[in-house]
Chains A and B, each alone.
Chain A
């Protein structure tokens, strides 16, 4: 684990459907976060990003069940399966303190009848009942000063804060216990561009100041990820299909799905003004009955006969991994972006 903060191996999480069938939303996924780095997790809606985040944060609740997977973090090995969690109280200590989750819409979870400082005290006491109010507020005050944020926010109610400030406050509060890993699920999606930038700058400062030692940043917004992350993992239909350093992956996409996602990004540039992007044809598959072979093959412009027959294994090229038959046949070649445009 030298240089690796967290490695989660072979994580499989299923939703128990009313029909009695288990739908695997995350299927045998392995992911790692290097020490002091930010990993971006991207993909279309419904690809399993949030489910993977919940599994790693050990908050899977029915109908979601983690059926397999282990996580190595801070020299500990944790069995992520829901069954193990229920029989092993060790997870309670890890949640929030070792791995902290900033869920989607977290900023809307601040009680409208409490001041921010009351939330700070509640969070600190949930982990250590002996924490005094003064200790909790001192820590929050120091943290806000460290991040050059206004301390007066502690005395305010949620409705007195802008959306951007609320999101920054829940981020600060969720990391007061100095977790090793922060999992931030769509933290910027509800924010406008200025608030997004402020949050991203704060997250980068937090990693630099070692408030947390690694971050998994989940979003479908690739420009945000290119700004904030060191590495990217692209998910499709419950599986990771490509992973690598952010710059390498953005400039040299090896999987047709990554290429199609990148083509769909609309930057305010002259190129965007003249191009006509096609988007990815079709819809993501039904995970209860996914396509055989490569799960992306029914929507892929580069699909070959073997794609529907056999699941591609990961091909490792330097620091860049890709699971694709086309990439297997075209070593180190970037997927041509032109197929995604009219």
Chain B
């Protein structure tokens, strides 16, 4: 089993965070008094069914959505209400990869254009920028010739998602939030993308928040797992604890619903 112990100060933390949406006839609490910590160089998986509040939590951590109450701290500093240059600086350090890589590209521009455009604010250009693009594409197993002159539709789903991870890495982030980043990929491409993130954690010390409804993926590469139901964290612990000795009934039900390759055959035969 992989070692999951970590004694460091959290890189990113949410403390008693709540998010309510106004709906007809009252309020809907999407995230309810959630506290969670992310430690350097670790992968934390947040699992749960659709509507459990996983993505809302990620959006608040990314500061793409304001919290209703609670605090978000980054490297010990309260970032819940930062604005302007401070927020832009935070976004450099905390990058995200979303579910649909195709939706993240402008189909009228080449991959190279998209990658360069993102670095305009950093005032990087010429050979320095090309070298950075080459390095970051290299992290995800691509060469500039594979992608830079191509348009998004000319890449496979797996290549597009790897380019999105490379784009996030160009900012030299400390934290990567992957919101269902592999759920649109087939099994082989999914493994490749997970291996890329695993290598980045091991080699660059990247902290990863991995949001998924696929417990098998969490089992493959997460150090810790948090289980969410109806906006609440119902169970948390190391991956081994949560997946192999679950305590909460919801976690047990979630695990029993996962179709596993050989177990399903037995169920079907019975």
Chain A interface residues (CB < 8 Å from chain B): 43-46, 162-164, 191-197, 200, 220-224, 226-228, 246-247, 250-251, 260-262, 264-270, 272-274, 276-280, 283-284
The size class of the interface chain B forms with chain A is 35 or more
CA gap between A65 and B56 in the complex, in Å: 43
Contact with A along B181-193 (1 / 0, CB 8 A): 0000111111110
Residues of B close to A196: CB separation below 8 A: 257, 259
Contact with A along B206-246 (1 / 0, CB 8 A): 00000001111111100000000000000000011001100
Residues of B close to A43: CB separation below 8 A: 186
CA gap between A273 and B1 in the complex, in Å: 7
What is the count of residue pairs linking A and B with beta-carbon distances less than 8 angstroms? 134
B213 and A226 form a contact (CB under 8 A): no
With A193-B257, A268-B219 as known contacts, state yes or no: A163 contacts B50, CB within 8 Å: yes
> Which of B126-177 touch A at CB < 8 Å?
156-159
Residue of B nearest to A219 (CB): B186
Contacting B260 at CB < 8 Å: which of A247, A267, A284?
A267
Shortest CB-to-CB span from B172 to chain A, Å, is 26
Q: A162-B51, A265-B187, A265-B261 provided; 5 other pairs, C-beta below 8 A?
A: A228-B268, A246-B265, A250-B261, A273-B1, A283-B158
CA gap between A274 and B3 in the complex, in Å: 11
CA gap between A197 and B263 in the complex, in Å: 14
B51 and A223 form a contact (CB under 8 A): no
Shortest CB-to-CB span from B46 to chain A, Å, is 13
CA gap between A247 and B264 in the complex, in Å: 10
Residue of B nearest to A275 (CB): B220
Selected A-B contacts with CB under 8 Å, 24 pairs: A45-B185, A45-B186, A163-B50, A192-B50, A194-B49, A195-B49, A197-B259, A222-B261, A223-B264, A227-B259, A262-B261, A264-B187, A264-B190, A264-B191, A266-B191, A268-B216, A268-B218, A268-B219, A273-B1, A273-B2, A278-B191, A279-B195, A280-B188, A283-B156
Q: Does B262 contact A (CB under 8 A)?
A: yes
Residues of A close to B65: CB separation below 8 A: none
Residue of A nearest to B51 (CB): A162
B257 and A194 form a contact (CB under 8 A): yes
A266 and B257 form a contact (CB under 8 A): no
With A44-B186, A268-B260 as known contacts, state yes or no: A193 contacts B213, CB within 8 Å: yes
A277 and B191 form a contact (CB under 8 A): yes
Q: Does B121 contact A (CB under 8 A)?
A: no
- Top 10 A-B residue pairs of the complex, sorted by shortest distance between their CB atoms: A227-B264, A266-B216, A220-B186, A264-B187, A267-B260, A223-B259, A279-B191, A268-B219, A193-B257, A192-B213
Q: Does B103 contact A (CB under 8 A)?
A: no
Q: Does B11 contact A (CB under 8 A)?
A: no
Contacting A279 at CB < 8 Å: which of B189, B244, B253?
B189
Q: Does B64 contact A (CB under 8 A)?
A: no
Shortest CB-to-CB span from A196 to chain B, Å, is 7
Residues of A close to B263: CB separation below 8 A: 267
B2 and A226 form a contact (CB under 8 A): no
Q: Does B258 contact A (CB under 8 A)?
A: yes
Contacting A162 at CB < 8 Å: which of B50, B194, B217?
B50
CA gap between A113 and B179 in the complex, in Å: 30
CA gap between A194 and B254 in the complex, in Å: 7
A194 and B219 form a contact (CB under 8 A): no
Shortest CB-to-CB span from A121 to chain B, Å, is 28
CA gap between A147 and B165 in the complex, in Å: 44
Most central of B214, B217, B239, B264 by chain A CB within 10 Å: B264
CA gap between A222 and B190 in the complex, in Å: 13
Shortest CB-to-CB span from B21 to chain A, Å, is 14
Residues of A close to B185: CB separation below 8 A: 45
Most central of B156, B190, B260 by chain A CB within 10 Å: B260
Residues of B close to A191: CB separation below 8 A: 50
A274 and B189 form a contact (CB under 8 A): no
B51 and A273 form a contact (CB under 8 A): no
CA gap between A43 and B261 in the complex, in Å: 15
Contact with A along B20-58 (1 / 0, CB 8 A): 000000000000000000000000000001110000000
Residues of A close to B267: CB separation below 8 A: 227
A222 and B187 form a contact (CB under 8 A): yes
B187 and A284 form a contact (CB under 8 A): no
Residue of B nearest to A264 (CB): B187
Most central of B187, B188, B191 by chain A CB within 10 Å: B188
With A44-B188, A265-B187 as known contacts, state yes or no: A226 contacts B50, CB within 8 Å: no
